[in-house]
Structure 1
Amino acid sequence: MLDLTNPVFETYVIAAALMVLKIMGQGWMTVYRMMKSNSGLASPEDVQKGILNTDPRPEQLEVNDYVDRSRRMHRNDLENIPGFWIAGLLFVVTDPSLLLAQVMLYGFVAARLAHFIAYATKQTHEVRATFYTIGSLIVIYMAAHALVVALAG
């Protein structure tokens, strides 16, 4: 049952909502970094004079790693979290045990949080890739689980 009386669905709602907040928060972090550094703007029209940019300069369009790192984290979220939403919901529909659902759904959230921390603190690619891999395998498992249950049904 897809309502909040089902603890498996409730687990999904919590995990999915946290990932919505992660994506939206990362966008705001990028905006904050652009405003703080007054650089790393993305589009030519961003260097027009306005309330938020009173002294536009062409160099504001140059890549700024402080801003671009946040932009790359945001793009990475946008590449990974939507698959989680879909696979997670399909997984929930298969009526898994609560423990398995919590391990998978909260495991993905934890992996994305660890990936964020690793990226934000400039850890090696291997560290980031480890957390990406954990999250990716969770999504793959949930999708495969849903597929197997659907084909058997």
Structure 2
Amino acid sequence: MAYAVAAALMVLKIMGQGWMTVVLMTRFDAGLMSPEDLRQTPFNKNPRPDQLAPHPDVERSRRMHRNDLESIPAFLAAGLIFVTTEPPFWLAVLLFSFFVLARLAHTWAYATAQNHEVRASFYSAGSIVVMFMAIWVLAVALL
């Protein structure tokens, strides 16, 4: 159940960040990605070439989403195989909680334009959790 809660939160995070990017694109009427996005539609009644120009807030959200895509799927996979080894419950809760908190802290750091070292610290913390779970699985499977 601890994995299910952490996984559900991270699925909501990764999907929510994609929606946040769309909200920002709509709010700023900018940050569209492809030339075909400049076709006139009910949602883009007045297409303009400048809509393809990068917008700082939209690009920040895209980078946040890209970072989620780099780390959350690995957590989902590693966490799922980790629970099949029947680890101590306290350890599973600790690792899952730590990963979720690290991702939320990374989001805060990105959203508030903290420097790279701050963001990298939170990314690294979550990454270490994922690697620990993968190594745990290998140890259980091979020993």
| TM-score normalised according to structure 1 size | 0.92
- Ranges in structure 1 where 5+ consecutive residues have no aligned partner: 1-9
* 2:45 is aligned with 1:54: yes
Distance 1:53 1:68 in 2: 20
Measured after TM superposition, the shift of residue 43 of structure 1 is 1.1
What is the percent sequence identity of the aligned residues? Answer: 58
Distance 2:38 2:110 in 1: 28
* 2:131 is aligned with 1:140: yes
What do residues 86-132 of structure 1 show as CA deviations (whole Å, max 9, x unaligned)?
10011111111111001111110000000000000100101000000
Report how many aligned residue pairs link the two structures. 143
Of 72, 82, 90, the match for 1:81: 72
User: Aligned with 2:60: secondary structure?
Assistant: helix
Measured after TM superposition, the shift of residue 27 of structure 1 is 0.6
User: Aligned with 1:95: secondary structure?
Assistant: coil
Aligned positions of 1:3-152 closer than 5 A: 10-152=1-143
Query: Aligned AA for 1:57?
Result: R
RMSD: 0.6
Query: Aligned AA for 1:34?
Result: M
Query: Aligned AA for 1:26?
Result: Q
Distance 2:60 2:38 in 1: 20
Structure 1 stretches of 4+ moved >6 Å = none
Query: Aligned AA for 1:70?
Result: S
Distance 1:46 1:144 in 2: 44
Query: Aligned AA for 2:35?
Result: P
Query: Aligned AA for 1:101?
Result: A
What do residues 124-150 of structure 1 show as CA deviations (whole Å, max 9, x unaligned)?
101000000000000000000001100
